[in-house]
Structure 1
């Protein structure tokens, strides 16, 4: 994969589940579009989907679909929709299917925006969530080769979780483009101290610090990102 192809995408992962990956992904998409770059979001695997008249649907995937350029169909954004709200490989096993990193990567490449477009891929849970007995979402990220953005929920344990995740990302041979601090609670003890502790140790730029909000919008999240740093990713 060429350097130019690598620059056409971002892979958003988190230190755990429920850290705000979709909140951050929506903000990133809004910021990139505001800078004049077409963006398409992908949620390759989504568990905990709901049955609708149109089939299984996932709220996070729908949010990415709505912000995507080119009006992609739902299955383009989320090719694997699983109903049980459990780890993806377990949910897939319950319906007799197996997830493969290469298949998911092929789907993204086949539907990715070309040229100046940016393709944002949001993982599920944390970095090493299993896809099958041998592969994890890290293997999907490796297949794509996109730079990685790590979302860190600032809460008890986040320093250890962020440093372990960063080490695993680098061990996969991928570039850690930066990290985003997400405040997921109205009150977080020693918030500034925890953010500073991560910033001093992670060895990657802090791309934004998202304050707590009960219902954050893409625009409000985008306003809290470092737009100069983001622009540098695709300069």
Structure 2
């Protein structure tokens, strides 16, 4: 959580309230109605994103069929659903299951920032908004992970080759690869952002591929800049019935 502090405050001293509207230093600087983004860490500041691979059980012919964000032990994970691939691109609906999370404690001495997880900070709080997909109908999704590129959280998707007729994944240890977007994106600006749950606007995609956004404070006028936006949507994204996927993506709405 990014905590916002304001120079426009009320200070109470023995029943006396003093309104502070500005500050000055010598005769050179004067600040009116200042707001700053404070990078305050603590036990209630959950700013960690998992960087470890999540891969389907391809040895049992399982592929990725859905995804959603979940927070566990203060760490945000992209949890994946898997299902057994059948001939002709069908999925064994009775085999659908969420891949268990790899649990760890970010305060443990053997768990380090930049290896198992990424910690959001003031100068590293960007999330790339990309759709990672392929148009090759012989490839299916078998995994996903986050990495850090130029201090941006960046999504990578694992693709594996399969035979459509037999429904078998073909030598996934060899015929698989990770795909992401390495190109620098354009910043998606949030102007006077409202708290998502209070917004009167419809929930529609507002971002495009090859963009990124930063976690920032909410609107000063609408919320007193006391919340961190964007919110993270934890609804599952799962086709019904389940089908093979040609990619995964992250967007802002």
TM-score, structure 2 length as denominator? 0.22
The structure carrying a bigger helix percent of its residues is: 1
The structure carrying a bigger strand percent of its residues is: 2
TM-score, structure 1 length as denominator? 0.23
Looking at CA atoms only, which structure, 1 or 2, has the larger radius of gyration?
2
